[in-house]
């Protein structure tokens, strides 16, 4: 009887699985990284002043000041994300541009504990566009350059914005 009990205990212990916990250092869905540069000298990084960002016509995403890089989430359930970017928000010289990011999504299995993450590939043509909501004579963004179309990491610049 003792042997049967010990065998049952042994089999029940062997049947246990360790807890699956997603390590905080595991790569998750990346953010889109924008870096700002001077339009008159594209090699000089330029900090933004009171850059207010609103996502997809929703509530304010955040206001950034004194930084040259920002990280923005992309929509994981649609193939486009639209942002309203207002430079010098709250000032009389506030200026707003609307950018739309068009991409393909790719679901990547990370692990059983972490689940899936989404990576993005900006479209070859029209990956970043100004929408018709931006009047041509009031734009503050003079141009932008896509450095990498594959958005797989949040620690590299994906798009340079010149203003």
pLDDT at residue number 122: 98
Q: Is the pLDDT of residue 41 over 60?
A: yes
Q: Give the chain's length.
A: 163
pLDDT grade for 61, boundaries at 50, 70 and 90? confident
Residue 52 vs residues 16, 20, 33, 61, 97: alpha-carbon distances, Å: 51, 39, 16, 8, 11
Nearest-5° Cα angle at 160, 51 to 100: 65
User: Which tokens sit at 24?
Assistant: 């905080």
Can you tell me whether residue 76 is helix, strand or coil?
Answer: coil
DSSP 7: H
Q: Are 121 and 151 spatial neighbours (Cβ–Cβ below 8 Å)?
A: yes
What are the phi and psi torsion angles at 10 (to 5°)?
A: -60, -45
User: Which tokens sit at 26?
Assistant: 């595991």
What are the phi and psi torsion angles at 88 (to 5°)?
A: 60, 40
pLDDT at residue number 161: 97
pLDDT grade for 8, boundaries at 50, 70 and 90? low
Query: What is the enclosing helix (H) or strand (E) of 120?
Result: strand 115-122
Phi-psi region of 90 (alpha: psi -120 to 50; beta: other; left: phi over 0): left
pLDDT grade for 1, boundaries at 50, 70 and 90? low
């Amino acid at each position: 009887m003792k042997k049967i009990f010990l065998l049952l205990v042994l089999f029940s212990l062997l049947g246990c699985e360790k807890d699956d916990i997603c390590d905080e250092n595991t790569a998750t869905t990346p953010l889109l990284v924008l870096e700002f540069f001077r339009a008159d000298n594209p090699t000089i990084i330029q900090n933004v002043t009171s850059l207010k960002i609103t996502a997809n016509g929703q509530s304010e995403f955040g206001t950034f000041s004194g930084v040259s890089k920002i990280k923005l989430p992309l929509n994981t359930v649609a193939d486009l994300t639209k942002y309203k970017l207002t430079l010098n928000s709250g000032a009389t010289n506030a200026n707003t541009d609307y950018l739309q990011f068009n991409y393909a999504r790719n679901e990547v299995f990370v692990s059983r504990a972490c689940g899936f993450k989404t990576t993005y590939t900006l479209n070859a043509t029209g990956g970043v566009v100004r929408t018709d909501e931006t009047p041509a004579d009031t734009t503050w963004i003079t141009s932008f350059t896509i450095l990498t179309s594959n958005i797989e990491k949040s620690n590299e610049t994906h798009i340079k914005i010149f203003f």
